[in-house]
Structure 1
Amino acid sequence: MRCSTRPCWHMRDNGEVTSATRRPQPPAPTVPPRLIATDLDGTLLRDDKSVSQRTVAALAAAEEAGIEVFFVTGRPARWMDVVSDHVHGHGLAICGNGAAVVDLHGGPGSHQFVKIRELATETALDVITLLRAAAPGTSFAVERTYSFHLEPTYPSLHMEPPDTIAPAEKLLAEDAQGADQPVLKVLAYHSDIAPDDFLGLARIAVGDRAVITRSSPSALLEISGPGVSKASTLALCCAERGISHEEVVAFGDMPNDVEMLTWAGTSYAMGNAHPDVIAAASGRTVANNEDGVAVVIERMLAERR
């Protein structure tokens, strides 16, 4: 099922952020939480891409207490094997920065798309043209539901070989390999511009034609369809379950998490988070390598008891 809905959601004021000079003591949610939404890389996962036993136990305890857990990530569905063993009862993940909702119950290699919010080919081509003009030297890759395609000048940044190598215009042509699959996002890389500068430049050049964000330490931008973000897709999923934003606790570390952290009733920036994330979140926990998500969940469940 494809979803083109662009919902409106409540945006609350940013809360006070705990000082980074002392160990954070994140505030408890003001209402009983019904759903935990957590980013993966730099948040739930340690730097070696593992999920600690402490974190596994905390996620299981949350679900046993009746709190749903959603993995909300920029990763494509193909890269979700890292958490497939930890999905417990729910088995759903928001992938591609909100471009897809995926059922993980089938296990590695058997993920099913529940909802797709695609980037229209015409929009993708328009954005590419604008970015080529605004930042000469930009190279592009195209992420589809089941395949990955890149330009010859695009660097080897990802964990899989491409299905096709060609100029972006050919990758998005009607007769291109994988053209029967929706485009989930376009990636744009620049070798000579600082990451945050590239993000700011691209947002000015593209305007509201698409959503542009980043989650990589390099100057790698992630481009989704208009209105598509982690926050907007999470809002759709919560509305389907009768869950309000006040009942959501969210975790993140990079600019692609900012909208989600602003939308959630309670949110936490990781100790290793980008400054924009710290400003957006209502609280702060310790770093991903210190199991910051588990620290909050354990405290939250203890207070419920």
Structure 2
Amino acid sequence: MKMELYSARNGFRKTRPKTEKISPEVYSLLLGCCNQYKNNLIHMFSEEEHHVFTNRDYTGFDEGNFETRLIVLIPTLLRDDSGKFRAPIASESYDQYAILDLIEFFSENIKDITINWNNQYKDYQIIDTCESSNVFVDFQRDINELFVESGVLYTLTNKKIIERIVENSPLSKEVEQNIEAIKEEGTKELLADAIALYKTPNKKNRPLAVQQLWGAFERLKTYYSSNKVKSAERIVQDMAGENDDFNTLFNAEFKQLTDIGNKYRIRHQETDQTDITDSKYYDYLFNRCLSLIALAIQYLE
């Protein structure tokens, strides 16, 4: 249950720094949250058990099959000596994306269940699985509350995938809706792919996202015809209207972004390209290029 504690209510708590790093403590909390929903996977991992005192069979959760399946699917999940999944300790290296994979696995597969005791003596529980998956809403809420409380810049979306939260970015729902409205399928597809790559938690996808975005930018310049120069001029004129100053500004920005795409190792891999040496530069490049595209597509016919 989300609640605001005394120090937060009264302004004594320092703002928690935002991060994409999942600490061992946060990893442990996320793992614990998943474990609370394991019975919602019983439709996938069930085994017949026998209760000695009542001499009856009932369906239980198959821990062994669950652990085996997950270690094959997500091999970097940490395990203890008994094979149980565990959180990392502070001094060891670990794959933080493994816990995100686990969250997505639960999101995709959990189903609603009903749980009842077999009798008044509560010998064992009877778990029945439903076809619905309304429980995902609760799981999503619990996971996202942990992300928010810990300052971790990820979110579990309604599509049941983890996306990173990009702060101070022109990327918004309105921009994504405008992209969906683009008539030229090639440009729309490149932009959608670039955004999807940019939202993934894995930093290795940042160069690919920027590459795709610059590809969309170059294709956008041919929106009206195969004559790139004339087509781009029309886009700029529509953006600027009758304002010569903004016409000059947008022309200069189109040219500079074109030069950046040619000079730096974004779209090409020649030996004379300038390497992008700091991963943080990819955020800058992505946001700068997207800002111009987001404005331009609002003026397309």
| TM, length-normalised to structure 2 | 0.27
More RCO (CA 8 Å, sep 6+): 1
By percentage of residues, which structure has more helix? Answer: 2
